[in-house]
A and B are shown apart, each in its own frame.
Chain A
Amino acid sequence: MATTVESPGIRREWQRFTPRQRLIRYAFYLVAVAALIQSINSVDIIPEFLEDAPAQIVDLFARMWPVDWAYYPKTVHAALIETLHIATLGTVLALIMAVPVALMVATNITRWPALRLLGKFILVSSRSVNSLVWALLFVAVFGPGGLAGTLAIAFRSVGFVGKLLAEALEEAHKGPVEALTATGAPWLSLMLKAYWPQVQPSFWSIALFRWDINIRESAVLGLVGAGGIGMALDDALNLLYWDQVALTLLTIFSVVIAAEIIVTYIRSKII
């Protein structure tokens, strides 16, 4: 063994991990395999449906083709514009709500633990509720339509934006802050002239990143009645017009890809 070093009385063998680390790892592998086997055994899968699947997929594509292009100007275009508005306005609202929360959470700005805890609680509760659930809640409150979707997107994004913004604030250099404090600048000037220029690039990059995600998310909100292209998709699905479904999916796909290209382009310009 090349790794064995013989010395008087002591026999040492190099090992990458300590026995404890190895034990933890093997325990993890064991639990993972056990969970998988247990899940496969108990999950409800109907074998007849699985056998039928290839035929169903062929049937699905046959029904989808040819795509019903006439559906686009009739319904999908307006719904698409609404989706874009939902995603954009939702992102703007999320940014407005996230800034104070981020200021509350950032350790170098807020030194009051109770306030920080409250901010953290807001961020975590925003993130742990799915955007579809937020949409269901707002549909129940404001009725179906784009407003419910916008608020769902905004409330869902606050946690994400606030967390990243707080991290950016915490990474800001102390130099400009101390310089401005030494001149006796008030709190607002400190924020605008010391912190804002430092966090501005990350602010815009977080905003763009979230906008890109929100375009994807707002496309499904219509399934629960919260407006946008999902409503057109839902209508077509309920009527089993698969050629219209295909058109809607194609539209969503192109918009998502276009948003990703735009975001990548702007990010490369501003950062």
Chain B
Amino acid sequence: MSTAASQPVAATRQNPFPVNWGARLGWVALVAYSFYAASLFELTWERFVVGLDNGAKFIGRMLPPLLGKWDLLSKGLLESLEISIIATVIGVAVAMPIGLLAARNLMPAWVTWPTRGLIAMCRSFHPVIVAILFVKAVGFGALAGIMALIVASIGFIAKLFAEAIEEISLKQVEAVRATGAGFGNVLIMAVQPQVLARFIGFSTYQLDSNLRNSTMVGIVGGGGIGSTLFTAFQRFDYDFVLTILICIISMIMIGEIVSGWVRKAFQ
């Protein structure tokens, strides 16, 4: 205060960090909401302590992991792997033309809009929910899982394909067109070289994602390791649950490493 009185210039200087009351109000609202929502779920200290106790018991029953039932385990893991490979290949093959139809720089608006709607619809349901419908349509087993993951792949990849195609340089398209090339040749000679590396990248990401989900579709009867996992949970075989989880996580991590190599090779 005394410095401000002796130097009146300093008083007019602005505070470099002004208080933002709107932001503070927002934070207060967020905290208030969190407490309200937590109270809805009866998230009390007492329940938390009981939960910790249960958690300790739970972990105690998980350890040591059950070593055995390798037949069941390897069969389930292999089926999950197969589901994800088939679903990715078919999904990518179907997503490519759909992505092309949704690219706004190559296609007229009356084609792109319905295609974009279709893509959004494929993306809006979780693969496990789609798997429920396919289990009803084609019965229990790997086929339902494959079809559910194909739908998920289309929703994800077709969108990214369309975006990749929209980002290409049109100069090469014009150059190829100027030689009198037809639409097919434009695609092969001008569009494909620009997007291939990214397509391979998206496809390997999708393979990773499908591998993750293929271990889950089994919960609703879509084949793979998921049904084994769910059954082990329901029978309280928590030591076997731990074994399955370790196997699933290792498989997913190996998948990520391999797809990382592939992306590097195609860069």
Q: Is the CB of A142 within 8 A of B37?
A: no
Q: Is the CB of B265 within 8 A of A28?
A: yes
Helix, strand, loop or mixed for chain A's interface? helix
User: Could you tell me the distance between the alpha carbons of A136 and B219 in the complex, rounded to whole angstroms?
Assistant: 11
User: Could you tell me the distance between the alpha carbons of A255 and B81 in the complex, rounded to whole angstroms?
Assistant: 32
Q: Return chain B residues, CB-CB under 8 Å to A1.
A: none
Residue in chain A with minimal CB distance to B238: A140
B146 → A minimal CB distance (Å)? 8
Q: Is the CB of A141 within 8 A of B51?
A: yes
Chain A 40-83 residues near chain B, CB threshold 8 A: 40, 42-46, 49-50, 52-53, 56-57, 60, 82
B166, CB-defined interface residue at 8 Å:
no
Residue in chain A with minimal CB distance to B124: A256
User: Could you tell me the distance between the alpha carbons of A32 and B200 in the complex, rounded to whole angstroms?
Assistant: 12
Q: How large is the interface on A (under 10, 10 to 19, 20 to 34, 35 or more residues)?
A: 35 or more
A103 → B minimal CB distance (Å)? 19
Q: Is the CB of B86 within 8 A of A43?
A: yes
Helix, strand, loop or mixed for chain B's interface? helix
Q: Is the CB of B252 within 8 A of A128?
A: yes
A133 → B minimal CB distance (Å)? 7
User: Could you tell me the distance between the alpha carbons of A42 and B38 in the complex, rounded to whole angstroms?
Assistant: 48
Question: A residues near B, CB below 8 A?
Answer: 21, 24-25, 28, 32, 35-36, 38-40, 42-46, 49-50, 52-53, 56-57, 60, 82, 85, 88-89, 92, 125, 128-130, 132-133, 136-137, 140-142, 145-147, 150, 193, 216-217, 219-220, 223-224, 227, 233, 237, 249, 252-253, 256-257, 260
Q: List 29 A-B contacts (CB under 8 A).
A: A21-B265, A25-B265, A28-B265, A32-B89, A36-B89, A38-B82, A39-B81, A39-B82, A39-B86, A42-B78, A43-B86, A44-B142, A60-B136, A60-B137, A89-B38, A92-B34, A129-B249, A130-B216, A137-B58, A142-B54, A147-B41, A147-B42, A150-B41, A216-B126, A220-B126, A252-B129, A253-B121, A256-B125, A260-B120
Q: A50-B138, A52-B139 are in contact. List 4 more A-B contacts (CB 8 A).
A: A60-B133, A132-B216, A133-B229, A219-B129
